[in-house]
Amino acid sequence: MTWIDSQDQALSLATNQGKMILLLAGRPGCAECDYMHDTVCESVTPPVQALIQEGYVPWYCDIDNSNEWRTYGADLTSFTLPMICIINPTNAAVYVDRSFNIQRAETFYPRLLNQAGFQMTNAHINSISVSNGVARIEVSNLIFGATNDLERSVDPQLPGRWISATNFVSLSRTNIMEDPVDPGFERVFYRIKSVP
């Protein structure tokens, strides 16, 4: 993952991309800072790294070489590194969420997910193409971290004809899936459903 090292650049990117800012303020060589930066933020299970890439602009501020972090710690007389802030670029003078020290990926992930501000709630199929017996289905407007079921039918008018083609957790707003198609069927229909 690529971290931005200036507040101005983080604000500009977050504003242009419609993302939140994740500030990690620490110092190189600090074991807790390195753990959050290199282990927790790079976690694949739970998918912290994918969530940061999808919903945040990651900004690392070396507190020994920059004062840009001070806005978010001005009310503190002391604190434990790292300082972690979630910042909305539309009101960048204040943080939305702030914490300190290390966190487990299992705890950090839901906090990030809660503040990501995703607005996509109506998943839909953008396109379907078939080539060499494989259907390629592009689904968009997915909710990050939600479980979805891509279902298939050869006759959607008959009851009970929808079967699950694949069940997946969305790690981005758009997913492209492949599904083998039986050449004996003239037509195949797909739909996407959220799984509670």
Domain with CATH 3.40.30.10 in the chain: 7-115
Topology given in CATH for the domain delimited by 124-194: Immunoglobulin-like (2.60.40)
Topology given in CATH for the domain delimited by 7-115: Glutaredoxin (3.40.30)
Q: Of 2, 1, 29, 10, which Cα lies nearest the Cα of 72? A: 10
Sorting pLDDT into bands at 50, 70 and 90, what band is 119? very low
Domain with CATH 2.60.40 in the chain: 124-194
Question: What's the whole-number mean pLDDT along residues 5-26?
Answer: 94
Please tell me the predicted confidence (pLDDT) of residue 160: 66
Question: What's the whole-number mean pLDDT along residues 104-129?
Answer: 80
Q: Cis before residue 82, ω within 30 degrees of 0?
A: yes
